[in-house]
Chains A and B, each alone.
Chain A
Amino acid sequence: MDKAIYLDIELCVGCGACAIACMDQNDIYPEKGQPAFRRIYRIEEGKFPDASIRYLSVACMHCEDSPCVVGCPTGAITKNDRTGAILVKKELCIGCHSCALACPFGVPRYDPDEKMEKCNLCTERVEAGLEPACVRVCPMGALKFESPNKIQGVKESKFVSNMVTAVHRAGSRQ
């Protein structure tokens, strides 16, 4: 896989700009019953005054080994060789919901014609050298479009730097 969309949940504030940018990019109109590709969740934990809140912005994960691709009986779901995006050929979709059963994340949704709809990784934008619309808009920089190993590298160096700081602080206290 080349690049993937990552969500840094430490940075996400659940504003929903990504969901709207996605609807703008993909001409999705909820009032027509068209399902959003990206959805926002708000999860509260604990009780006042010690409660905390987390936000998540969720869309198709474009899995490397996609259960939906395997599950689709008509071959409507395929993997794009260039971007790694999992794409739906709507003309082949028969609305059987096999993909819904297969997907561990609950991603597939169906339009009023019972055709499956989901995030297409902004394939045309990515092929033109642009970021996906949701990543571009994110005011907190919580959504990133990067190669998985590079993201992991950034995460790792942040962890290492925090650990060094903690060790240093502990040392200076003694």
Chain B
Amino acid sequence: MLDYSQIQNEHLRELLIHSESINAQDEINAQAVINNIAALGPVQQQEVIQMLEEEQKQIQSSKIAKGITPDVEVAAIEKNRGKLTEIKHEYDTNVRKYEEGKTQKQDEAAAEDLLNQLNN
């Protein structure tokens, strides 16, 4: 996993995380590049930002060329998100039902006790 923590500029950090060119390098090289960028002064970092913004434009244009519009991307994310929600929901439901069952048993037991007490 690459460590971006030394990059202070949030925008730059975002761009680096999404840089395909850097991610295409092996991990050691990529990390070295990131470290080097972190050591740059603000003016040079600005140059890096410009370069990485250009790269993002290249990526965007390539995506559009492949028919991957933001819609398509959103759909892909949503599909996974939907699946995640479904799994989560199922888990929550199971847990809720289980806990409800447990509570219900406790309630019933408590009610039973109460009734017994009242009857007695």
| Chain B associates with chain A | no
